[in-house]
Amino acid sequence: MVSCRGPPRRRGPPRRITGVTRSIRPLPAVLLAVVLTACSGGVHGSPGGQGVRDPYFPRAGNGGYDVAHYGLTLAYDPGRHRLTGTAVITARATQDLSAFDLDFKGMTVDGVTVEGNGARWNRAGQELTVRPRSDLERGETFRTTVRYSGTPETLTDPDGSKEGWLRTADGALALGEPTGSMAWFPGNHHPSDKATYDIAVTVPQGLTAVSNGEPAGETTRNGRTTFSWHTGQPMASYVAMVAIGHFDLTRTALKNGLTAYVAVDRTQTEASRQVLAQLPDIMEWEEYNFGPYPFSSTGAVVGPEGSAGYALETQNRPVFPGAPETGTLVHELAHQWYGDSVTPASWRDMWLNEGFATYAEWLWREDHGGQTAQQTFDQLYRGDYYDDPEQSKAIWAYPPAKPSSAAHISDSPVYERGAMVLQKIRQTVGDDTFYDIIQGWAAARRHGNASTADFTAYVQKKAPHKDFGPIWRDWLYGDGRPEHP
């Protein structure tokens, strides 16, 4: 018997824009940097690039440096929707640099220093180009401080969903997949550049500010409270988060010694009690199946109903817009291994996140008295998993490893068909090797980045005598519905 005909939709708003990526950009900031360099005479550095050539988000990230740490000091006044911030970015130059870019959208830049010296800067679209007083040398670690203020923007993704700074009735939710973090702090906003973080948020007394990592202090002065959070393991900026509101923050020790910090918006206390009580069991089940948990704390943030149009796997503690279903909690926690610890090299590798997290839901169902993953696979293949025939057909729209455009990186070919790829691997190698593979993958790439090619090579290495060629060809990269299930 099928108890669950289709997973809950995780992304909220309808996709308003189809097949259109953000391809028209204003002012090439890199040109300005080139001009500045040419005028200064005697320098040998060149500007870092204004993107890292992501196939879906070409302006995301920046070339020429690698961030090690973000120190963010934020203050938010929900009444006036006003954010003031200081970002201290510690990075290493990967080339001689005359100038470099940060991704930053909206807000007002009040000043930039590099190594304590005032730096020239210029803004064009989402690129904040910084020109330090003197060139930075390849290999050098340098500190950039950006002071900023204003009303942070809510950004609309190519698929129509909202991210960046989301206002709530009494606070805000700052989210960043795929590029929304540039609305609330300047940075190298591409998943390939992971860093540690210290985030301090000052809010009016009575409100609570929650972020990633572990609490690192709370002080109240003059009617305002500062909440500090420390993230000691590498984090991609798209899973950085701040939640401000009337939250009840609880800490629970899990059996393995890990602390779960769970923040629940006052309005969601009753509705989320049962599902959150499952968190320790889900964590234990996931560690059993995926291997040791990769971070130093876990938890969840349950924001007000509708505060976002989707749940998001923000590091350490995923965010839910209202009380989640069990499957969604399983999904977002699975992302801590697949997505947050093992992070895609580019947005094309999205199925390594969503295929795995979706497969985690199938496995949970299989292990808890529901249908097997193979049954879910069979229904999807036959087309009777969903009631809606359009939805059934949609999973064959494009191959998981080659999303058709930026507007479609979170559609069912990435999620469900991505999970089907994992079931194909399991069919080929059997359960023992399959669990070895998914655990080994999380261990091998822990706290790093990986591409689809890295994954297929890893699978092949773990089962050298199996032929995965047809699976990669038909299920991962092939157009349309494969001929055989």
Binding of ligand TRP by 11 (CB under 6 A): yes
Segment lying near ligand TRP (by CB under 6 A), choices 266-274, 283-291, 307-315, 456-464? 307-315
Window 391 to 410, contacts with ligand TRP (CB under 6 A): 409-410
Judged by beta carbon distances under 5 to 8 A according to partner kind, the member of Zn ion, ligand TRP, none in contact with residue 310 is ligand TRP
Contact 237, 181 (CB under 8 A): yes
Q: Decide whether 214 or 354 has the Cβ nearer to Zn ion.
A: 354
Q: Decide whether 132 or 152 has the Cβ nearer to ligand TRP.
A: 152
How near is the Cβ of 30 to ligand TRP at its closest, in Å? 26
Window 177 to 196, contacts with ligand TRP (CB under 6 A): 177-178
Segment lying near ligand TRP (by CB under 6 A), choices 141-149, 261-269, 331-339, 477-485? 331-339
Judged by beta carbon distances under 5 to 8 A according to partner kind, the member of ligand TRP, Zn ion, none in contact with residue 101 is none
Judged by beta carbon distances under 5 to 8 A according to partner kind, the member of ligand TRP, Zn ion, none in contact with residue 410 is ligand TRP
Segment lying near ligand TRP (by CB under 6 A), choices 47-55, 75-83, 328-336, 456-464? 328-336
Q: What HEC string does the chain produce?
A: CCCCCCCCCCCCCCCCCCCCCCCCCCCCHHHHHHHHHHHHCCCCCECCCCCCCCCCCCCCCCCCEEEEEEEEEEEEECCCCEEEEEEEEEEEECCCECCEEEECCCCEEEEEEECCEECEEEEECCEEEEECCCCECCCCEEEEEEEEEECCCEEECCCCCEEEEEECCCCEEEECCCCHHHHCCCECCCCCCCEEEEEEEEEEECEEEEECCEEEEEEEECCEEEEEEEEEEEECHHHCCEEEECEEEEEEECCCCCEEEEEEEHHHHHHHHHHHHCHHHHHHHHHHHHCCCCCCEEEEEEECCCCCCCCECCCCCCEEECCCCHHHHHHHHHHHHECCCEEECCHHHHHHHHHHHHHHHHHHHHHCCCCCHHHHHHHHHHCCCCCCHHHHHHCCCCCCCCCCCHHHCCCHHHHHHHHHHHHHHHHHHHHHHHHHHHHHHHHHCCCCEECHHHHHHHHHHHCCCCCCHHHHHHHHCCCCCCCCC
Q: Decide whether 170 or 332 has the Cβ nearer to ligand TRP.
A: 332
One character per residue 142-181, x = contact with ligand TRP (rule: CB under 6 A): -----------------------------------xx---
Q: Which of 56, 197, 227, 310 binds ligand TRP (CB under 6 A)?
A: 310
Q: Which of 332, 340, 361, 416 binds ligand TRP (CB under 6 A)?
A: 332
Judged by beta carbon distances under 5 to 8 A according to partner kind, the member of ligand TRP, Zn ion, none in contact with residue 30 is none
Q: For residues 111 and 114, what is the distance between their CA atoms, to the nearest angstrom?
A: 10
How near is the Cβ of 178 to ligand TRP at its closest, in Å? 5
Q: For residues 13 and 154, what is the distance between their CA atoms, to the nearest angstrom?
A: 14
Binding of ligand TRP by 214 (CB under 6 A): no
How near is the Cβ of 357 to Zn ion at its closest, in Å? 4
Binding of Zn ion by 360 (CB under 5 A): no
Q: Decide whether 283 or 357 has the Cβ nearer to Zn ion.
A: 357
Q: Which of 99, 166, 357, 438 binds Zn ion (CB under 5 A)?
A: 357
Window 336 to 355, contacts with Zn ion (CB under 5 A): 354
One character per residue 439-478, x = contact with ligand TRP (rule: CB under 6 A): ----------------------------------------
N- to C-terminal Cα distance for the chain? 21
Cα 201 to the center of its chain, rounded Å: 20
How near is the Cβ of 200 to ligand TRP at its closest, in Å? 25
Q: How many residues bind ligand TRP (CB under 6 A)?
A: 14
Q: Decide whether 286 or 332 has the Cβ nearer to ligand TRP.
A: 332
- Reported residue count of the chain is 485
Residues engaged in binding Zn ion (CB under 5 A): 354, 357
Residues engaged in binding ligand TRP (CB under 6 A): 10-11, 177-178, 310-313, 331-332, 335, 354, 409-410
